[in-house]
Protein backbone atom coordinates (compact mmCIF):
# COMPACT_ATOMS: atom_id res chain seq x y z
CA UNK A 1 0.00 0.00 0.00
CA UNK A 2 1.39 3.38 -1.01
CA UNK A 3 1.19 6.00 1.70
CA UNK A 4 -0.39 9.35 0.90
CA UNK A 5 1.89 12.35 1.47
CA UNK A 6 0.30 15.47 2.95
CA UNK A 7 1.43 18.70 4.61
CA UNK A 8 -0.49 18.18 7.82
CA UNK A 9 -3.32 20.60 7.08
CA UNK A 10 -5.85 17.75 7.08
CA UNK A 11 -5.17 16.88 10.71
CA UNK A 12 -8.32 17.66 12.68
CA UNK A 13 -7.43 16.95 16.31
CA UNK A 14 -5.02 18.59 18.75
CA UNK A 15 -3.80 15.20 20.01
CA UNK A 16 -2.88 14.03 16.52
CA UNK A 17 -1.08 17.22 15.56
CA UNK A 18 0.98 17.09 18.76
CA UNK A 19 1.80 13.44 18.06
CA UNK A 20 3.12 14.40 14.62
CA UNK A 21 5.22 17.34 15.86
CA UNK A 22 6.69 15.30 18.71
CA UNK A 23 7.56 12.53 16.25
CA UNK A 24 9.30 15.04 13.96
CA UNK A 25 11.33 16.36 16.90
CA UNK A 26 12.39 12.85 17.94
CA UNK A 27 13.49 12.06 14.39
CA UNK A 28 15.72 15.12 14.12
CA UNK A 29 17.08 14.76 17.66
CA UNK A 30 18.00 11.11 17.00
CA UNK A 31 19.55 12.03 13.67
CA UNK A 32 21.72 14.71 15.29
CA UNK A 33 22.86 12.32 18.02
CA UNK A 34 23.88 9.77 15.38
CA UNK A 35 25.77 12.40 13.36
CA UNK A 36 27.53 13.55 16.54
CA UNK A 37 28.53 9.95 17.34
CA UNK A 38 29.78 9.47 13.77
CA UNK A 39 31.84 12.66 14.01
CA UNK A 40 33.41 11.38 17.21
CA UNK A 41 34.22 8.05 15.52
CA UNK A 42 35.77 9.64 12.42
CA UNK A 43 37.37 12.80 13.84
CA UNK A 44 37.62 12.04 17.59
CA UNK A 45 35.62 15.20 18.27
CA UNK A 46 32.00 16.00 19.17
CA UNK A 47 30.76 19.28 17.62
CA UNK A 48 27.49 19.12 19.62
CA UNK A 49 27.61 19.96 23.33
CA UNK A 50 23.93 19.29 23.98
CA UNK A 51 20.47 19.43 22.42
CA UNK A 52 17.25 21.03 23.70
CA UNK A 53 13.79 20.34 22.27
CA UNK A 54 10.45 22.04 22.88
CA UNK A 55 6.87 22.24 21.61
CA UNK A 56 5.03 25.58 21.70
CA UNK A 57 2.20 25.76 24.23
CA UNK A 58 -1.39 26.12 22.95
CA UNK A 59 -1.50 29.63 24.47
CA UNK A 60 1.66 30.66 22.61
CA UNK A 61 0.35 29.25 19.33
CA UNK A 62 -2.99 31.08 19.62
CA UNK A 63 -1.24 34.32 20.56
CA UNK A 64 1.06 34.11 17.52
CA UNK A 65 -1.83 33.35 15.15
CA UNK A 66 -3.80 36.35 16.44
CA UNK A 67 -0.74 38.59 16.24
CA UNK A 68 -0.35 37.65 12.56
CA UNK A 69 -4.06 38.11 11.80
CA UNK A 70 -5.10 34.46 11.49
CA UNK A 71 -8.05 32.61 12.98
CA UNK A 72 -7.10 30.06 15.66
CA UNK A 73 -7.56 26.81 13.73
CA UNK A 74 -5.40 23.70 13.45
CA UNK A 75 -5.07 24.21 9.67
CA UNK A 76 -3.78 27.78 10.16
CA UNK A 77 -1.44 26.65 12.90
CA UNK A 78 0.14 23.99 10.67
CA UNK A 79 0.25 26.27 7.63
CA UNK A 80 1.45 29.57 9.08
CA UNK A 81 3.51 28.78 12.20
CA UNK A 82 6.94 27.37 11.43
CA UNK A 83 8.27 26.99 14.96
CA UNK A 84 5.66 24.87 16.74
CA UNK A 85 8.33 22.20 17.07
CA UNK A 86 11.78 23.53 17.91
CA UNK A 87 15.19 22.01 18.48
CA UNK A 88 18.21 23.93 19.72
CA UNK A 89 21.67 22.56 19.02
CA UNK A 90 24.40 23.93 21.28
CA UNK A 91 28.00 23.60 20.13
CA UNK A 92 31.44 24.63 21.37
CA UNK A 93 32.75 26.85 18.59
CA UNK A 94 31.34 29.10 15.87
CA UNK A 95 32.95 26.89 13.21
CA UNK A 96 30.80 24.01 14.46
CA UNK A 97 27.62 25.96 13.69
CA UNK A 98 28.15 25.93 9.93
CA UNK A 99 29.51 22.38 10.02
CA UNK A 100 26.30 21.18 11.69
CA UNK A 101 24.10 23.24 9.33
CA UNK A 102 25.85 21.62 6.36
CA UNK A 103 25.32 18.14 7.82
CA UNK A 104 21.60 18.86 8.23
CA UNK A 105 21.30 20.22 4.67
CA UNK A 106 22.92 17.07 3.27
CA UNK A 107 20.34 14.73 4.83
CA UNK A 108 18.18 13.29 2.04
CA UNK A 109 15.01 13.12 4.11
CA UNK A 110 15.24 16.68 5.44
CA UNK A 111 14.09 19.55 3.23
CA UNK A 112 15.47 22.98 4.11
CA UNK A 113 12.68 25.55 3.67
CA UNK A 114 14.37 28.72 4.97
CA UNK A 115 17.58 29.89 6.64
CA UNK A 116 18.31 32.99 8.74
CA UNK A 117 21.98 33.58 9.54
CA UNK A 118 22.05 35.78 12.64
CA UNK A 119 25.71 34.87 13.13
CA UNK A 120 26.84 36.83 10.07
CA UNK A 121 24.01 39.34 10.42
CA UNK A 122 23.16 39.73 14.16
CA UNK A 123 19.91 41.34 15.28
CA UNK A 124 20.05 44.92 16.55
CA UNK A 125 19.67 43.57 20.08
CA UNK A 126 22.94 41.66 19.69
CA UNK A 127 21.22 38.28 19.27
CA UNK A 128 23.26 35.68 17.39
CA UNK A 129 22.14 32.25 16.23
CA UNK A 130 21.72 30.23 13.03
CA UNK A 131 18.09 29.40 12.26
CA UNK A 132 16.76 26.78 9.85
CA UNK A 133 13.16 25.90 9.04
CA UNK A 134 13.11 22.33 7.77
CA UNK A 135 10.48 19.78 6.80
CA UNK A 136 10.80 16.16 7.87
CA UNK A 137 8.52 13.26 6.83
CA UNK A 138 6.62 11.61 9.69
CA UNK A 139 5.39 8.12 8.81
CA UNK A 140 1.93 7.36 10.20
CA UNK A 141 0.04 4.11 9.60
CA UNK A 142 -1.86 5.41 6.57
CA UNK A 143 0.17 8.36 5.28
CA UNK A 144 3.33 10.45 5.45
CA UNK A 145 2.99 13.91 7.00
CA UNK A 146 5.62 16.49 6.00
CA UNK A 147 6.19 18.38 9.25
CA UNK A 148 7.99 21.68 9.84
CA UNK A 149 10.60 22.04 12.57
CA UNK A 150 12.67 25.08 13.53
CA UNK A 151 16.34 24.33 14.21
CA UNK A 152 18.50 26.86 16.09
CA UNK A 153 22.26 26.35 16.19
CA UNK A 154 24.46 28.43 18.49
CA UNK A 155 27.48 28.27 20.77
CA UNK A 156 27.34 27.79 24.54
CA UNK A 157 28.18 31.48 25.00
CA UNK A 158 25.48 32.63 22.55
CA UNK A 159 22.93 30.42 24.30
CA UNK A 160 23.83 31.89 27.70
CA UNK A 161 23.33 35.44 26.39
CA UNK A 162 20.09 34.57 24.55
CA UNK A 163 18.61 32.89 27.62
CA UNK A 164 19.18 35.95 29.81
CA UNK A 165 18.02 38.35 27.08
CA UNK A 166 14.81 36.32 26.72
CA UNK A 167 14.10 36.58 30.46
CA UNK A 168 14.75 40.34 30.46
CA UNK A 169 12.53 40.78 27.37
CA UNK A 170 9.57 39.16 29.13
CA UNK A 171 10.31 40.87 32.43
CA UNK A 172 9.75 44.23 30.72
CA UNK A 173 7.15 42.89 28.24
CA UNK A 174 9.41 43.73 25.30
CA UNK A 175 10.03 47.32 26.40
CA UNK A 176 13.22 47.31 28.50
CA UNK A 177 14.81 50.65 29.48
CA UNK A 178 17.30 51.98 26.95
CA UNK A 179 20.32 51.60 29.24
CA UNK A 180 19.52 47.90 29.74
CA UNK A 181 19.21 47.39 25.98
CA UNK A 182 22.58 49.08 25.49
CA UNK A 183 24.14 46.93 28.20
CA UNK A 184 22.80 43.78 26.51
CA UNK A 185 24.32 44.85 23.19
CA UNK A 186 27.66 45.40 24.92
CA UNK A 187 27.42 41.97 26.56
CA UNK A 188 26.69 40.47 23.13
CA UNK A 189 29.91 42.03 21.82
CA UNK A 190 31.81 40.48 24.73
CA UNK A 191 30.25 37.08 23.98
CA UNK A 192 31.24 37.41 20.32
CA UNK A 193 34.80 38.28 21.32
CA UNK A 194 34.91 35.31 23.71
CA UNK A 195 33.71 32.95 20.96
CA UNK A 196 36.37 34.28 18.57
CA UNK A 197 39.14 33.91 21.15
CA UNK A 198 38.10 30.40 22.13
CA UNK A 199 37.96 29.36 18.47
CA UNK A 200 41.45 30.80 17.88
CA UNK A 201 42.75 29.01 20.98
CA UNK A 202 41.23 25.72 19.85
CA UNK A 203 42.78 26.05 16.39
CA UNK A 204 46.17 26.73 17.98
CA UNK A 205 45.84 23.65 20.20
CA UNK A 206 44.94 21.50 17.19
CA UNK A 207 47.92 22.85 15.23
CA UNK A 208 50.29 22.02 18.11
CA UNK A 209 48.80 18.52 18.39
CA UNK A 210 49.31 17.89 14.66
CA UNK A 211 52.93 19.02 14.87
CA UNK A 212 53.60 16.71 17.81
CA UNK A 213 52.09 13.78 15.95
CA UNK A 214 54.64 14.30 13.16
CA UNK A 215 57.56 14.05 15.56
Residue 4: predicted pLDDT? 45
- Could you tell me the pTM of the whole model? 0.89
Check which CATH number belongs to the domain holding 59 and give it.
Answer: 3.30.460.10
Is residue 11 assigned to a domain? yes
Is residue 192 assigned to a domain? no
CA distance 57 to 203: 41
Residue 1: predicted pLDDT? 34
Residue 10: predicted pLDDT? 57
Residue 144: predicted pLDDT? 93
Is residue 195 assigned to a domain? no
Q: Are the beta carbons of 36 and 47 closer than 8 angstroms?
A: yes
Is residue 188 assigned to a domain? no
Residue 108 has pLDDT above 50, yes or no: yes
Is residue 165 assigned to a domain? no
pLDDT in tens, 140-165: 988 899 999 999 999 999 999 999 99
Residue 209: predicted pLDDT? 84
**Among positive and negative, which fits the CA dihedral 106, 148, 122, 32?**
negative
pLDDT in tens, 8-56: 555 568 888 899 999 999 999 999 999 999 999 998 889 999 999 999 9
Residue 12: predicted pLDDT? 62
Is residue 66 assigned to a domain? yes
Domain span at residue 140? 4-156
Count structural domains, the chain: 1
Is residue 135 assigned to a domain? yes
Count Cα atoms within 13 angstroms, Cβ side, for 98.
6
Is residue 167 assigned to a domain? no
Amino acid sequence: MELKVDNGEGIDSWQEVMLVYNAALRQIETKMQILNDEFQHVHQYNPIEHIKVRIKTPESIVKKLKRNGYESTIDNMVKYINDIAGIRIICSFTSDIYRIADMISEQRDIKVIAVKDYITYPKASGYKSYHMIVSVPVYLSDRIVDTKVEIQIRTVAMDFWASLEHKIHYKFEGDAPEHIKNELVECARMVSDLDARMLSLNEEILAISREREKE
